[in-house]
């Protein structure tokens, strides 16, 4: 999917030129306002990729995304979807050995100059893996204090930002 944005006239011209350039090799379809908004909302929310699996949201330098996708391609069940011209990579992995996968995904993201966040996973996997990965002690302490101030009882989204009850610690 390719998103074209801007003034109506130039966007229409670019869409026509793009469809003409692509037509010899691939079928194209233009999504208009309602369908386009629905499609890009699904992309933004990570819903275009398999549900029932661990979903990772990797922010990367755009040039690094294809290399990272190539690195995870041999993993059984791995699926990738790119957005932000490659600056965002959605990575879906089956709920297998989540901890080992988390270590590998985060290491690949850091090596590529980016960051990986566990976006969606089973409750069991979320209980074993930190959403944002290892934080420096000072940053983790600051995050705990902020969560404790906003949610002293630890009842809002338990387990979403870290292990359940983390705000109360």
**Global model pTM greater than 0.85:** no
Burial of residue 58, with CB atoms counted within 10 A of its CB: 0-12 exposed, 13-18 middle, 19 or more buried: buried
∠ CA 148-154-157, nearest 5°, is 115
Dihedral of the alpha carbons of 30, 35, 40, 43, in degrees to the nearest 10 = -100
Provide the residue-wise pLDDT of the chain in tens; the chain has 169 residues: 888 888 989 999 999 999 999 989 988 888 888 998 898 888 888 777 766 678 899 999 999 999 999 999 998 889 888 888 888 999 988 876 677 888 899 999 999 999 899 888 888 887 788 777 766 666 667 877 888 888 888 888 776 665 544 433 3
């Amino acid at each position: 999917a390719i998103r074209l944005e801007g003034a109506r006239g130039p966007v229409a011209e670019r869409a026509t030129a793009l469809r003409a350039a692509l037509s010899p090799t691939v079928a194209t379809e233009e999504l208009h306002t309602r369908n386009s908004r629905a499609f890009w909302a699904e992309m933004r929310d990570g819903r275009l990729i398999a549900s029932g699996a661990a979903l990772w949201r990797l922010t990367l330098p755009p040039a690094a995304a294809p290399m990272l996708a190539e690195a995870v391609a041999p993993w059984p069940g791995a699926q990738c979807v790119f957005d932000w011209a490659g600056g965002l990579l959605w990575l879906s992995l089956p709920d297998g050995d989540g901890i080992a996968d988390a270590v590998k995904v985060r290491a690949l993201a850091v090596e590529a100059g980016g960051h990986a966040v566990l976006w969606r996973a089973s409750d069991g996997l979320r209980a074993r893996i930190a959403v944002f990965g290892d934080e420096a002690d000072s940053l983790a302490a600051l995050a705990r204090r902020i969560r404790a101030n906003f949610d002293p009882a630890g009842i809002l989204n338990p387990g979403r930002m870290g292990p359940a009850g983390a705000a109360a610690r």
